[in-house]
Structure 1
Amino acid sequence: MSRRPVNPARRIGDGGSIPFVGVVQSKSRSSPLISIGLVIVGAILLIGYSYSGSGGTSSDIQASSKIEGGISCTLEVQRALPILKKAYGDSMRRVLHVGPDTCSVVSKLLKEEDTEAWGVEPYELDDGDANCKSLVRKGIVRVADIKFRLPYKAKSFSLVIVSDAVDYLSPKYLNKTLPELTRVSADGVVIFAGYPGQHRAKVAELSKFGRPAKLRSSSWWIRYFVQNKLEENEAASKKFEQASTKRSYKPACQVFHLKS
């Protein structure tokens, strides 16, 4: 009598369904060793599946910078703060953050020990929460058009971090804004910019920012820095890369380090 071939175990599907082992009975007796082996394989697959879904993978970590189907470099700044502290050390004691939703970054920085923080919101504030309104009343966060001179003296801050802002500026206004950022910083400027082809977090771009984001390549930025005599902070950049490698951190945005 002919025997029909039977697949004793199903593989993991593309949809990520939990693997399992089927128990198959046939007219002929199966070897106990084969049954035990199948159970062991199934257990290993289950453990592997559970571990991969535990939130410890780099893709899960990167998902923390995604909101509403796009990437937010401001959320990326919050995620990168431990790496920035390793790279800049004492320079993280007086920090200015420039970008949309700066209240969230400033609030997180203020929770750090021995850290003072201020923020500049480049666009009109939405109906923010009570905490953000409080920061504005205290003068910690300001609403200011970064296409013009910033309301701070030279070297007012040790470090300036900018995110989700320069992508909306044309070269004409970049020529004014970036020198201003370097003017008010003492130890450097860190720029978080989007990658070309990257989907930005859904915002009312045209009404709030005046224009859609212009996502530029790293070669474009490097060429722009050189042409405008903005020097890369090589020491900080190297420390940032080393700390990123040690913590298995992969930025969802481009990160540039400039000297003051």
Structure 2
Amino acid sequence: MSRRPVNPARRFADSASVPFTNSLHSKSRSSPFLSIGLVLVGALLLIGYSYSGSGGFGGDSNVVSKAEGDLSCTSEVLRAIPILKKAYADSTRKVLHVGPDTCSVVSKLLKEEDTEAWGVEPYEIEDADGNCKSLIRKGIVRVADIKFPLPYRARSFNLVLVSDALDYLSPKYLNRTLPELARVSADGLVIFAGYPGKQRAKVAELSKFGRPAKLRSSSWWIRYFVQTGLEENESAIKKFEQAANKRAYQPSCQVFHLSSYH
């Protein structure tokens, strides 16, 4: 790549019809630092151009960074763990997280005292780091299509956390997945869902998720929970709000607290 800026200059110097040819050659021989500097400047310009074309600098404003938490509610789960610990107390002894980048959530939960954590990644994991690969080898994290029954017995976990998984499902598949999530939880189910109009997946992510996120309003979700036979966990909602107020925590995603099936 560093040779590309040199080629035009070389053609310029070799052309007999262009003036200053001899002086250019003499300067390049007498000042190698000048040539090196020109190559570096040209390379930097090419890199800057390629980044601007691909959205690296000042690209489409709708393209958001997952690392910054603009794309996903999974980063919101990471922020909310201390609040969840306060609200659910003993119900965080055994936790299942379902959603993309579940390795990061499971890793953080495992650092919490008296907490056993498991995860389900609903999409193929690309470029997983060593820690994530280790969690998968140990069976702590599984890659599984959540449109099918989860590979766990009923009430296997005290608490089930879900983020960035249900937003990509149509009602047809929600009818299968949501009851499954409630089935494997004993004390509660917490769903982190995106606000309509706020989060958008990167173009590169659409092939992974299969479709853009269907970001629904809170009223839509509440109606759907009622239709599915799930009730909001009023006690958990109150405790969560109290803990959030004490820590001045403002979620950037919708957070729903549901009771498990009895």
TM-score range, shorter chain: 0.7 to 0.9
Aligned mates of 1:240, 1:70 — CA distance in 2: 23
* Alpha-carbon distance, 1:66 to partner: 6.4
Aligned mates of 1:241, 1:69 — CA distance in 2: 21
The 5 Å alignment of 1:1-260 reads 67=67, 70-200=70-200, 202=202, 204-260=204-260
Specify the alignment match of 2:21 in structure 1: none
Q: Number of matched residues? A: 196
* Amino acid in structure 2 at the alignment position of 1:123: Y
Q: Which contiguous aligned blocks of 4+ residues in structure 1 show a shift greater than 4 angstroms?
A: none
Aligned Cα root-mean-square deviation (Å): 1.5
Aligned mates of 2:203, 2:168 — CA distance in 1: 12
Q: Residue 102 and residue 203 in structure 1: after superposition, are their counterparts in 2 closer, same or farther (change >3 A)?
A: farther
* Amino acid in structure 1 at the alignment position of 2:253: C
Q: Could you report, residue by residue, the CA deviation over 1:108-130 in whole angstroms, capped at 9, with x for unpaired residues?
A: 00011111000000000112000
SS in 2 for 1:248: coil
Q: TM-score, normalised by structure 1?
A: 0.73
* Amino acid in structure 2 at the alignment position of 1:108: K
* Alpha-carbon distance, 1:206 to partner: 2.5
- The answer to which structure has the higher helix fraction is 2
> Any gaps of 5 or more consecutive residues in structure 2?
1-64
Residues 118, 141 of structure 2: 8 Å contact kept = yes
Q: TM-score, normalised by structure 2?
A: 0.72
Over the matched positions of the two proteins, sequence identity in percent amounts to 82
Q: Residue 69 and residue 222 in structure 1: after superposition, are their counterparts in 2 closer, same or farther (change >3 A)?
A: closer
Residues 69, 199 of structure 1: 8 Å contact kept = no
Specify the alignment match of 1:31 in structure 2: none
SS in 1 for 2:120: strand
SS in 2 for 1:158: strand
> Any gaps of 5 or more consecutive residues in structure 1?
1-64
Aligned mates of 1:116, 1:125 — CA distance in 2: 22
